[in-house]
């Protein structure tokens, strides 16, 4: 019993997930409001590529790529923690 790691109780874990969901929804709402207020066209230059795009699309794509990067880093971290617990 002493060697067993302490686990969170179900209600505490559920509350934590609910808090994360609320925070994620608030961040998504702020990003969407910001994006919809910026609909003008801009010239984008990346390395040797140049194109015209609306700022709204750049904001949304950047937010999605940032979310994907955060998910992938978190996933790798979680899998590393699981493998450490097994050992």
How far is it, in rounded angstroms, from Cα 70 to Cα 41? 28
pLDDT of residue 9: 55
pLDDT of residue 85: 75
pLDDT of residue 6: 56
- The backbone torsions φ and ψ at residue 4, rounded to the nearest 5 degrees and listed phi first, read -70, 135
pLDDT at 65 over 60: yes
pLDDT at 19 over 60: yes
Helix 10-36 × helix 55-86 angle, to 10°: 160
Per-domain boundaries in the chain:
10-86
When pLDDT is averaged across residues 56-80 and rounded to a whole number, the result is 87
Of 13-27, 40-54, 68-82, highest mean pLDDT: 40-54
- Give the contacts of 39 (CB within 8 A, at least 6 positions apart): 54, 55, 56
- The backbone torsions φ and ψ at residue 84, rounded to the nearest 5 degrees and listed phi first, read -70, -35
Burial label, 14 (beta-carbon count in 10 A; 0-12, 13-18, 19+): exposed
- Name which of 26, 35, 31, 81 is nearest 55 in CA terms: 35
């Amino acid at each position: 019993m002493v060697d067993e790691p302490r686990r969170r109780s179900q209600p505490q874990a559920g509350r934590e997930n609910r808090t994360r969901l609320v925070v994620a929804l608030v961040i998504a709402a702020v990003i969407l409001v910001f994006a919809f207020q910026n609909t003008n066209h801009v010239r984008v230059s990346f390395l040797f590529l140049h194109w015209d795009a609306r700022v709204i699309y750049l904001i949304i794509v950047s937010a999605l790529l940032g979310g994907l990067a955060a998910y992938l880093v978190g996933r790798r971290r979680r899998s590393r923690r699981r493998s450490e617990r097994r050992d």
